[in-house]
Amino acid sequence: MKKILLFLLLAVIVLVAVLVVKTSSFKSKQIAPADGKRKELPVDESAVKHLSDAIKINTTSFDDTTIVNQLEFDSFFTFLKTEYAPVFQNLEDTIINQRSLLLKWKGKNETAKPVILYAHLDVVPIEETTKAKWTHEPFSGEVADGFIWGRGAMDDKGSLISIFEALKRLQTKNFTPERTIYFAFGSDEEIGGKKGAAMIADYLRAQKISFEFYMDEGGMVSEGIVPNIKRPVALIGTAEKGYVTIELTANVKGGHSSHPPKESAVDVITSAIKKLHNNPEQARTVETVNEFLEFVGPEMPQPIKIAFANRWFFRSFILKEYEKSDEGRALLRTTEVATVINVGVKENVIPSLVTAKVNFRVLNDETTKDVIERATKTINDTLVKITVGELYEPSRNSSSSTYGFKLLQQTTAEVFPDAIVTPFLMLGSTDSKHFQDITENTYRFFPVRMNSDLLGTIHGINERIGVKDYMETISFYETMLSKLK
Ligand SMILES: [Zn+2]
């Protein structure tokens, strides 16, 4: 008995010693300590007006791809060429497939690999039923209460116009970049990017250009979003999840609802959806999420930091923390959700044909093929026909030790001295998927402060960007471009 107690005591001492050593060697991965104060940047009124005017031009993308408002895109290009005339004088511009734009800024060093900055020109539609809930008209671009209001203020005209403002500032300073920089602006990100980003990528591929890195929208300087961290966290998307939609169809004899069959088409489909829903994947952390934990862990207060430094021991505790939120759960597995069900014409008629769409967001350690096979096995019903719709494979993980990532980290430390920086797994999809094979390094980051209130306005009601926040975004691009060696 004594021996067992002694052994247990020894085990506890060893465990505590390992925890302490691991915690003390769990060092911050920040370039500069994030203890600075937010910078007070002067408000540039002409930049504010430019974003406001850009919002007024309605470049909505519709799921029905036959609706294209070419005139709006033409007037957007006229607006850019008029307001940023010096930019167009010094950079080479190419219109791709009528509605996308590519600018090339030739650098001094022609042997250095170029980089590419991307933003999309289009916005999502306004839901008719929500129109009345907007404080300011969605396409008014109104400037009020310290914000610029309207569809696209954040996603993605806020980023796009900031890039042009930064370019304008650098032109005034007669700045010439060291390496060549491309600026690409696609026309249809919100509906998959096939006519915009994909064609820009084709154009670049045909010229056999390979890029040092590619930067797109994505993570933001989040405030109060990452659990247990009070300071803002700049989330740089180093990977994004994949995407696949399957359509389930059941075709079972219908008829009069007074004498229903044992199982109707509705029963077949709802039970298939239920099976998928009741069989979620096991929680696990992929490479990008492990890196995220390595970056945010050292910035956590004690005793939580001990847990993050010793994830081999506190794994289930950490997973439980992340399981608490929808976003956290989505970081840990491939998710599924039924999004469309088509059924029924009359209350006393049993429908014979039912279809449903289930959308999966695929974690980066598996493929869309794995997901489809698993779904088929889980449903395991010969009455359900499964067809595969839109799909994109998950991206690979871009390194956080490259020149590109470090440049973003350094620029963030300068422009957002109160924020920490971390690699991050993007849950949503961006146009970056079309550029995967022309660069090793893809970073998805929109350098703007974002709290959960503002996050809810993107694709929603009252989309807006803080005037002060917008000044930081411009400053970020200006600083980054001027540092680019
Ligand atoms: Zn977007």
Q: What is the DSSP string of 435-456?
A: GGGGBS-EEEEEEEEE-HHHHT
Q: Is 335 helix (H, G, I), strand (E, B) or coil?
A: strand
Residue 338 C-alpha to ligand 1 middle, in angstroms?
23
Q: Is 178 helix (H, G, I), strand (E, B) or coil?
A: coil
Q: What percent of the chain lies above the pLDDT cut of 70?
A: 100
Residue 430 C-alpha to ligand 1 middle, in angstroms?
7
- 96/302 Cα distance (integer angstroms): 53
The pLDDT, as a whole number, for residue 20 is: 87
Please report which residue ranges of 324-390 form alpha helices under DSSP H: 326-331, 368-379
Looking at residue 383, the DSSP 8-state letter turns out to be T
The pLDDT, as a whole number, for residue 61 is: 93
Answer yes or no: is pLDDT of 478 > 80.
yes
Q: Is 231 helix (H, G, I), strand (E, B) or coil?
A: coil
Give the pLDDT confidence of 428-441 residue by residue, as tens digits: 999 999 999 999 99
Half-sphere exposure of 134 (CA within 13 A, CB side): 24
Name 103's bridge partners: 93, 183
Residue 77: Cβ within 10 Å count: 18
Q: Is 168 helix (H, G, I), strand (E, B) or coil?
A: helix
Indicate if 189 belongs to the active site: yes
Q: Is 384 helix (H, G, I), strand (E, B) or coil?
A: strand
Indicate if 72 belongs to the active site: no
Determine if the pTM surpasses 0.85: yes
User: What are the strands, taking DSSP E only, across 81-156?
Assistant: 92-96, 100-105, 115-120, 143-144, 147-149
Q: Is 17 helix (H, G, I), strand (E, B) or coil?
A: helix
Answer yes or no: is pLDDT of 69 > 80.
yes
The pLDDT, as a whole number, for residue 229 is: 92
Residue 87 C-alpha to ligand 1 middle, in angstroms?
24
* Per-chain mean pLDDT for the chain: 95
Looking at residue 246, the DSSP 8-state letter turns out to be E
Q: Which of 83, 122, 212, 463 is catalytic?
A: 122
The answer to whether the CB of 182 falls within 8 A of the CB of 203 is: no
Which residues contact residue 47 at a Cβ distance below 8 angstroms, ignoring those fewer than 6 apart? 161, 165, 470, 471, 474
The answer to whether the CB of 249 falls within 8 A of the CB of 259 is: no
For residues 386-398, average pLDDT: 96
Which residues contact residue 108 at a Cβ distance below 8 angstroms, ignoring those fewer than 6 apart? 176, 177, 178, 179
Structural domains of the chain in order of their starting residue, each with its CATH number: 45-240+395-483 (3.40.630.10), 242-392 (3.30.70.360)
Cis amide prior to 156 (ω within 30 degrees): yes
**Token pair of 286 as six digits:** 């992929």
Q: How far is CA 289 from the centre of its chain?
A: 15
Closest by alpha carbon to 268, among 356, 387, 383, 388?
383
The answer to whether the CB of 299 falls within 8 A of the CB of 231 is: yes
What is the pLDDT confidence band of residue 66, given thresholds at 50, 70 and 90? confident
User: Out of 17-31, 66-80, 364-378, 382-396, which region has the weakest mean confidence (pLDDT)?
Assistant: 17-31
Residue 120 C-alpha to ligand 1 middle, in angstroms?
7
Give the pLDDT confidence of 100-140 residue by residue, as tens digits: 999 999 999 989 999 999 999 999 999 889 999 999 999 99
Residue 315: Cβ within 10 Å count: 14
User: Out of 31-35, 146-150, 410-414, which region has the weakest mean confidence (pLDDT)?
Assistant: 31-35
The pLDDT, as a whole number, for residue 6 is: 87
The pLDDT, as a whole number, for residue 35 is: 78
| CA distances, 273 to each of 282, 354, 392 (Å) | 18, 12, 22
Residue 99 C-alpha to ligand 1 middle, in angstroms?
16
One-letter amino acid for residue 199 of the chain? M
Backbone angles phi, psi at 260, to 5 degrees: -70, 150
What is the pLDDT confidence band of residue 73, given thresholds at 50, 70 and 90? very high
Residue 246 C-alpha to ligand 1 middle, in angstroms?
24
Give the pLDDT confidence of 237-261 residue by residue, as tens digits: 999 999 999 999 999 888 899 999 9
Q: How far is CA 290 from the centre of its chain?
A: 18
Q: Which of 156, 165, 189, 212 is catalytic?
A: 189
The pLDDT, as a whole number, for residue 383 is: 96
Residue 298 C-alpha to ligand 1 middle, in angstroms?
31
**Token pair of 376 as six digits:** 């088929």
More confident residue, 26 or 214: 214
Q: Is 211 helix (H, G, I), strand (E, B) or coil?
A: strand
